[in-house]
Structures are given as C-alpha cells and as structure tokens.
C-alpha cells in the first residue's frame, strides 16, 4: 500500500480525488475489506477494488461525488441472482465507501500514513462511517472496540521486506516480480560488478558488501523474508550461519538436492539445530516446471506469497466442484 499512498500524495498536490474503500464483504468477492482505489478529477483510476461492472459502478458514482463532495456508500451485488440488478456472478456482495479527499488536510493525513509505513511505527487509520466525520490516524496500538461498528479500522502494516542474497540472473527477475507483489527488496552480493543500482533499479537497497553486512538489516527487521540465490554452496553456508540466529518468516535456498544436502550436512556437523534446517524452503520455490531464470523467479515469488498469505500452493481449479 505504500506505493498507493505515495501516488495519492502526488495527486493531491494537484487536485481532489475520490477514495473508494471496500468496507464490508459477504460471500465470494474479488477483493478484501480495506482494498482501495482512487479516482482523479481527470477520471484516472489508481488501484482497484476488483474490476468489472462493480468497479465501473463505483467509478460512475465517484465522478458524481467529485461534484457534490458528499460521502456515500455503494452496494455491489455479485450474487448473480436473476431478480436483482447485479454487477457480477462471483457469489457475494461488497459495500464500498466513497470519500472526497482534497486540500492540505487530506495531504497531511496521507503524508502521516506514508511516514508510518516507511518508519515501521504502529498506527491505525480510522475512517468514520458518519458523513460528517473525516478519517484520521491513531497512534494507539489498541483501538476501542466500540469503534468497529461506527468506523473502518485499518492497522497500518509496513510492507514485507525481501532480502535477496546473490545478485545473479535469477535475482534480476526476482526483484522485479517481488516489488510488483508488494515487497520492499534488498539485494546483497559481495561482488561490486553484480550488486549495482543499474542492475537492480527496483531494489530499495543494494549492498555490494560481504555477507556480514546483512546483520544490521536482520537486527532491524523481524518481518524479513530471505531468498538465497547465490553462486555457490560456500555463500549459502556463510549466509545460513548468520540467519540461524534469527526468527524469520521465510528462508529459501536455491540449489539441487545434492547441493542442499551438502549444505545441511556441513551445518549439522557444525552443531546447527535441526529445527532451523527444517524451516528452510530448499530447494526454493513452487514446482511449476520452471526452467529459465525468469520462470524460477516466478516460482520463488509464488512461494513467498503462499507463506505470507497462508495459501496451499494447489491449483485453484482443483478446489472447485463441477456439475457434469
């Protein structure tokens, strides 16, 4: 969401926008509560609440709101029931809140949100449903329970960070794909010719330093995902010796079964705990038959999303029952 709010801040410096936020869902819907998009005075859309006819309905309402300025709620019916005016057949319903954001007050709020996301400090966006009240930012870690019935409560969570160790061909594609998936990406490689901003323009930080340089990053970031796509098992060993001292949501390591087993045997001989080795995703990635560096990067990012969101990795077509 950081990039979304950065675009919102940039737009607010020029003109007013209508912010559309999903505040309630029932059944199967294309987006979750908190999903957002905004519509500019020129009719441009940034973000999405699911696309299709439902989003088109919200878009038309937003254009009207740019003129009236009055907060309103839009119901999107995706049930597909023949007797209703529906906007799709996903199976559920969505309620979307439309608000006019304009001027210095709105811009100041967006800048506060950006500061919270980039600093990692806890904060919560409170969006009252009352038409006379405006959204605001709360620094309280615990929000009063009664607010949940009168406002949308959105904890601000800093974007997850992905540390890529190794700056080879796979890393180039992985940086690009991971950024699209919402990760802030850091690249480390001890070879100055590989760890350059020119090779990784989408990375927030590129370290052309020894592996020990990641220690400061590890100390500061608990929500850190790590992908080892190094040039050899010696580099894997050096990295894993450091990583074994931290509790991280994800550590993945590239390599053949032989390479992975070799690394594990050496670490076990050095006294590394079995519990740590068992939590490593190695070989890294989901089995999608990937062969090229680009395809391998997709498989790695798919596994990152699976771990982050709690998915299964199964093909969605296998989960649906068909009437034949």
What tens digit of pLDDT does each residue of 166-213 get? 999 999 999 999 999 999 999 999 999 999 999 999 999 999 999 999
Task: Kindly indicate the confidence band of residue 148, based on its pLDDT and cuts at 50, 70 and 90.
Answer: confident
Q: What is the residue whose two structure tokens read 């699976």?
A: 306
Task: In whole angstroms, give the CA distance from residue 54 to residue 49.
Answer: 8
Average of per-residue pLDDT across 10-37: 95
Question: pLDDT tens digits for 232-275?
Answer: 999 999 999 999 999 999 999 999 999 999 999 999 999 999 99
Residue 223 or 199, more confident = 199
Task: In whole angstroms, give the CA distance from residue 308 to residue 248.
Answer: 12
Average of per-residue pLDDT across 138-149: 69
With 0-12 / 13-18 / 19 or more C-beta atoms within 10 angstroms meaning exposed / middle / buried, residue 294 is middle
Specify the DSSP class assigned to residue 271: T
Q: What's the whole-model pTM score?
A: 0.84
User: Residue 226: helix, strand or coil by DSSP?
Assistant: strand
Across the strands, what pairs with 77?
93
Across the strands, what pairs with 138?
124
- Which residues belong to CATH 3.40.50.720 in the chain? 161-309
Q: 161-309: what CATH class?
A: alpha beta
User: Residue 322: helix, strand or coil by DSSP?
Assistant: coil
Q: Residue 151: CB partners within 8 Å, gap ≥ 6?
A: 126, 127, 128, 129
């Amino acid at each position: 969401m950081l990039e979304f709010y950065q675009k919102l801040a940039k737009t607010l410096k020029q003109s007013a926008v209508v912010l559309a936020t999903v505040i309630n869902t029932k059944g199967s819907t294309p987006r979750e509560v908190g999903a957002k998009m905004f519509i500019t005075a020129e009719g441009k859309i940034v973000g999405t609440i699911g696309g299709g006819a439902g989003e088109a309905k919200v878009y038309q309402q937003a254009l009207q709101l740019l003129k009236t300025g009055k907060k309103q709620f839009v119901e999107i019916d995706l049930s597909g029931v023949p007797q209703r005016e529906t906007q799709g057949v996903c199976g559920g319903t969505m309620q979307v809140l439309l608000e006019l954001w304009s001027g210095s007050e709105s811009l100041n709020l967006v800048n506060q949100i950006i500061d919270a996301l980039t600093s990692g400090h806890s904060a919560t966006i409170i969006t009252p449903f009352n038409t006379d009240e405006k959204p605001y930012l709360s620094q309280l870690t615990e929000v009063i329970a009664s607010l949940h019935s009168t406002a949308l409560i959105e904890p601000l969570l800093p974007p997850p960070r992905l540390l890529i160790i190794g700056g080879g061909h796979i890393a180039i594609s992985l940086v690009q794909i991971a950024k699209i998936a919402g990760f802030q990406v850091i690249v480390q490689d001890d070879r100055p010719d590989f760890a350059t901003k020119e090779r990784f323009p989408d990375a927030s930080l590129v370290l052309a330093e020894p592996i020990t340089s990641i220690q400061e990053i590890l100390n500061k970031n608990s929500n850190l995902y790590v992908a080892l796509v190094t040039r050899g098992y010696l580099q894997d060993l050096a990295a894993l010796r450091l990583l074994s001292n931290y509790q991280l949501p994800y550590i993945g390591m590239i390599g053949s079964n032989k390479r992975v087993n070799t690394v594990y045997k050496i670490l076990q001989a050095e006294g590394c705990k079995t519990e740590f080795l068992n939590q490593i995703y190695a070989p890294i990635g989901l089995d999608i038959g990937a062969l090229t560096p680009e395809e391998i990067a997709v498989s790695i990012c798919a596994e990152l999303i699976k771990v982050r969101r709690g998915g299964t990795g199964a093909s969605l077509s296998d989960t649906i029952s068909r009437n034949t």
